[in-house]
Structure 1
Amino acid sequence: MEFCDDCGSMLKTEGDKWVCGSCGFEKLRDEAAEAAMVTTEGQEEGEIIDISDAEDKGLPTTTAACPECDNDRAYWYMQQIRAADESETRFFVCTECEHKWREDDH
């Protein structure tokens, strides 16, 4: 991918030149530089790994009583769901049954 030296827009190829559709800037293409560029066509798709059964959700855990199964550990995270001048809401997910509940600051 190349960008315009004058305006910064993305350049498009037209024959042996790179051309800016915004300001009309042109420059000659360099075959050696283009051969070194990584394209999406040249990338291989990696193996898809299913981690849905993984125990670690990448979230911190804390002591919290699950209202469904009485387990005492839960993952937690904070999320802004109200106006910006309101405090965030803390969400919990049980480490055993994956029940989700929230705790609002009052």
Structure 2
Amino acid sequence: MKFCDECGSMMKAEGDEWVCGSCGYTEPRDEAEESAMTTQQDQEESEIVDMSDVGEEAMGPTTEIRCPECGHDRASYEMKQIRSADESETRFFTCTECGHKWREDDH
């Protein structure tokens, strides 16, 4: 993956050049530089994990919160940093009754 030196947008390989779709800037491709890039083909596929038979104790911590789908008052949760480091974490909930998933951000 290469980013445009002019505007910062992601560039696409077209023949022997990198072309920016946003501003039109072009740059010659460099074989040595590209050989160091990681491609999707180089990465292993992740497996889908079936959690339907996992007991509640293995689902992680739970908290008392009302599910917006079924009204149940318990959900498992996890917290992830998905924005910049100076922003608070996002909380992801999964209802222990119906399996509905939702997220909660601090604004």
> TM-score w.r.t. structure 2 length?
0.52
The aligned residue for residue 72 of structure 1 is none
Aligned pairs for 1:19-38 within 5 A? 19-38=19-38
Question: CA contact under 8 A between 2:9 and 2:22: conserved in structure 1?
Answer: yes
Q: Whole-Å Cα distance in 2 between the matches of residues 80 and 47 of structure 1?
A: 28
Identical columns (%): 49
Name the CA shift for 1:25/1:90 in 2 (closer, same or farther; >3 Å): same
Q: Whole-Å Cα distance in 2 between the matches of residues 79 and 29 of structure 1?
A: 54
Name the CA shift for 1:92/1:79 in 2 (closer, same or farther; >3 Å): closer
Please say if 1:39 is aligned against 2:46.
no
Name the CA shift for 1:77/1:26 in 2 (closer, same or farther; >3 Å): farther
Aligned pairs for 1:10-89 within 5 A? 10-55=10-55, 56-60=58-62, 76-78=63-65, 81=68
Following TM superposition, by how much is the alpha carbon of 1:77 offset from its aligned partner in structure 2, in angstroms? 4.6
Rg larger for = 1
Question: CA contact under 8 A between 1:77 and 1:90: conserved in structure 2?
Answer: no
Structure 1, unmatched stretches of 5+, are 61-75, 82-88, 101-106
CA RMSD of aligned residues (A): 2.9
**More helix, by proportion:** 2
> TM-score w.r.t. structure 1 length?
0.52
The aligned residue for residue 73 of structure 2 is 91
Query: Deviations 1:33-78 (Å, cap 9, x if unpaired)?
Result: 2122221222222444433222211133xxxxxxxxxxxxxxx353
Following TM superposition, by how much is the alpha carbon of 1:19 offset from its aligned partner in structure 2, in angstroms? 1.0
Name the CA shift for 1:48/1:22 in 2 (closer, same or farther; >3 Å): closer
Aligned residues: 74
